[in-house]
Amino acid sequence: MKNFDAEKLKKDFPILHKKSDLYRFIYLDNAATTQKPKFVIDFIKNFYERYNANVYRSIHDLGEEVTTLYEDARAKIAKFINADTQEVIFTSGTTESINFVADAWLAENLKKDNEIVITQAEHHANFLPWLRLAQKKDSKIKFIDLNLDTFSFNNFDPDTSDLINENTKLVAIIHSSNVLGDIWDKQEQQLKKLIEKAHKVGAKVLLDCAQTISRKKIDVKDLDVDFIAFSGHKMIGPTGIGVLFIKKEMHEVVEPYRVGGSMVSFVAWNSASWRKAPNKYEAGTPPIAQAIGLGKAIDYLNQYIDFGQLKIHEAKLCSYLIDGLQKIKEVKIIGNIERLKTEGHLVCFVVDGIHAHDVSAFLSKDGISVRSGNHCAQPLTELLGIDSSVRVSFYLYNTMRDVDIFLESLEKVINFFKK
Ligand code: PMP
C-alpha cells in the first residue's frame, strides 16, 4: 500500500514552490487543470532533446524508437482503463473526443425524431456538440433531471423511467460534475443500470470522464461503456492530449473523424481505404510528445497514488473546507454537503453581495488560485439559481494548510468588501 503524504508529493511539483512573483502560490483550481510533476516536465524536455521524430512514417532508428514509445504510451493508457490497446484513440482532449463521436458517428446515424439523452449537469463540452447536431438533424435532446434537493440524479431509475427508449441513439453523460462533484447514486450502481438499459433499447453510451480519470478507477469493460472521453492535462499530464476510448465492436461503424496522412491503407485517384483502429482515427502527425508525456503521468500515478487513499484525502480537504466555510455567514455552499464531505474533490459556493469574479481576483492578489464563473456549465448554473460561483478544487498535492490559508484570505476579502 502506498502511503499518502500530500506534503511529500507536493515537492514533486515545481510550480507549487514558485515564489518569485508572489510571496506564495496556493493552487486550488485543479478541476480546470492539474499541475505537472518534475518527472513529466523533465521527460518532455528530454523527449525533444533525445527522441524527436515523426511516428509510423520513417524507417530510420529514431523513427522506429519514437513509434515504440508512442505505442507504449497507448498500451499504458489502455491498461489504466482496462481497454484493449486498439480501443485507445489519441485526441487533443475531452472536447475533441466528444466532438469526434458527434461528427464521425452520431451525425451519420441520427435521424429525425431520434433522441440523445444527457443530464442537466453537463459541461458545455458534453452539451454543445449534441445541441448543434440535434438542431441540424431535427432530433431531440432529453435530460436526466437533477434533483435539486440532493444535487444528484437519485430520482432517476433507469429501469422504470421511459426517458431512454427505442428512439434513443446515444446517452452521453458526465461521470462526475465539475460543479457538484459526484452525482450518481450508490457508487455507480445507477450508472451501470443506465448503461444496461441503453443497450437493451439499442442505444450507445458515452461517459465524460474529464473529472474522474485522475481520481477514480475506470474499468471500461466492467462498465460496458461504448465511448469514454478524458483529457491528459487534468491528470498531471501535458495539455494538447486527450483520449477517446471507442469499444472494439464500434470500430466498423465509427468513421474516421479526420482523413489525411498515416491513417490510410491504400489511396488511388478516386478511392481510398483506411487502416484498422487506432490508426484510422489518427490522421496526420499526432501530439507525440504529449501522448508519451501522458504515459509518463500515468507511470507517476501508478507508482505513487492509491486512488482509495486519494479519495479519502480529497474528501477530508473538502470536509475541512466546508466546516470553515459554514462559519462564514455570507457564504452559501452549492451542492450536497454530506456527499461532498465524504466523496468530494471540489466545493462551489457563493458569497452574499460579492461577485465570484471579485472573490477570485482578490484571492489571486493574495497568492491563491481558484476558479469563478459558470464553470462552462451555464444551463446548470441557471438551474441552480445563481449566475456564477467560486470553485475550490483539490488534487493530490493540496494540504490542510492550503485550506487554512484560503479561509483566512477569504475572510480578508469579505471584510474588505463589507467596509
Ligand atoms: N467535461 C468536464 C466535466 C470538464 O470538467 C471539462 C474541463 N473543465 C471538460 C469536459 C472539457 O475538457 P477539455 O477542456 O480538457 O477538453
Domains and CATH numbers, the chain: 6-30+306-418 (3.90.1150.10), 43-302 (3.40.640.10)
Report how far ligand 1's centroid is from the alpha carbon of 376 (Å).
Answer: 8
The residues lining ligand 1, judged by C-beta closer than 6 Å to any ligand atom, are 31-32, 93-95, 123, 125-126, 174, 178, 208, 210-211, 231, 376
The dihedral of CA 326, 328, 332, 334: what is its sign?
A: negative
Ligand 1 mutation pick, 33, 34, 119, 178, max ligand atoms within 8 A of CB: 178
Amino acid at 86: Q
The per-residue pLDDT for 22 is: 66
Q: Which three cell numbers stand for residue 325?
A: 466555510
Residue 60, Cβ density class (10 Å: 0-12 exposed, 13-18 middle, ≥19 buried): exposed
Give Cα separations from 243 to 151, 170, 247, 301, 414 (angstroms): 28, 19, 13, 17, 41
DSSP string, 47-65: HHHHT---SSS--SHHHHH
Give the 3-state secondary structure of 215-226: CCCCCHHHHCCC
d(CA 121, CA 173): 9
Residue numbers of the chain with a pLDDT score lower than 70: 1-2, 19-22, 187
Ligand 1 mutation pick, 231, 345, 374, max ligand atoms within 8 A of CB: 231
Report how far ligand 1's centroid is from the alpha carbon of 187 (Å).
Answer: 22
Residue having the nearest C-alpha atom to atom 12 of ligand 1: 94
Residue 143, Cβ density class (10 Å: 0-12 exposed, 13-18 middle, ≥19 buried): middle
Q: Which residues contact 310 (CB under 8 A, 6 or more apart)?
A: 4, 215, 396
Is this model's pTM higher than 0.75 or not?
A: yes
The per-residue pLDDT for 2 is: 66
* Residue 245, H or E segment: strand 242-246
Report how far ligand 1's centroid is from the alpha carbon of 23 (Å).
Answer: 30
Residue having the nearest C-alpha atom to atom 8 of ligand 1: 32
Q: Which residues lie across from 168 on neighbouring strands?
A: 115
Report how far ligand 1's centroid is from the alpha carbon of 173 (Å).
Answer: 12
Amino acid at 187: Q
Three-state DSSP at 351 gives strand
Residue having the nearest C-alpha atom to atom 5 of ligand 1: 178
Residues in the chain: 419
The per-residue pLDDT for 21 is: 63
Helix pair angle (61-80, 288-304), 10° resolution = 50
Report how far ligand 1's centroid is from the alpha carbon of 401 (Å).
Answer: 28
118, 172 in Cβ contact below 8 A?
A: yes
d(CA 145, CA 147): 6
d(CA 174, CA 190): 13
Out of 209, 318, 348, 376, the active site residue is 376
d(CA 265, CA 283): 12
C-alpha gyration radius of the chain? 22
Ligand 1 mutation pick, 30, 99, 122, 123, max ligand atoms within 8 A of CB: 123
* Residue 393, H or E segment: strand 389-393
Q: Are strands 204-208 and 168-174 parallel, antiparallel or unpaired?
A: parallel
Q: Is 348 a catalytic residue?
A: no
d(CA 239, CA 291): 10
Closest ligand 1 atom, residue 231 Cα: 15
